[in-house]
Amino acid sequence: MFDFLDSGQYDLLGAFWVTAQLALYSAIGSLIWGTALAAMRVSPVPLMRTFGTTYVNLVRNTPLTVVIVACSFGLDQTLGITLGADSSEDIGFRLAILGLVAYTGTFVCEALRSGINTVPTGQAEAGRALGLSFTQVLTLVVLPQAFRAAVTPLANVLIALTKNTTVAAAIGAAEAALLMKDMIENEADALFVVFALFAFGFMVLTLPTGLFLGWAAKRLAVKR
Q: Which residues bind other proteins (CB under 8 A)?
A: 9, 69, 72-73, 76-78, 80, 86-89, 91-92, 169-172, 174, 178, 180-182, 184-189, 191
Neighbours of 24 (CB within 10 A): 15
Compare residues 181 and 218 and give the one whose CB is closer to other proteins: 181
- Beta carbon of residue 179, minimum distance to other proteins (angstroms, whole number): 8
DSSP code string of 1-38: --HHHHTS---HHHHHHHHHHHHHHHHHHHHHHHHHHH
Compare residues 129 and 188 and give the one whose CB is closer to other proteins: 188
Amino acid at 13: L
Amino acid at 115: G
Compare residues 22 and 180 and give the one whose CB is closer to other proteins: 180
- Beta carbon of residue 87, minimum distance to other proteins (angstroms, whole number): 5
- Beta carbon of residue 167, minimum distance to other proteins (angstroms, whole number): 10
- Beta carbon of residue 183, minimum distance to other proteins (angstroms, whole number): 8
Q: How far is CA 179 from CA 49, 77, 168, 195, 197, in A?
A: 42, 23, 12, 11, 11
Compare residues 77 and 133 and give the one whose CB is closer to other proteins: 77
- Beta carbon of residue 172, minimum distance to other proteins (angstroms, whole number): 4
Compare residues 34 and 94 and give the one whose CB is closer to other proteins: 94
CB environment 31-53: b (16+ within 10 A), e (fewer): bebbbebbbbbbbeeeebeeebe
C-alpha span between 12 and 201 (Å, rounded): 9
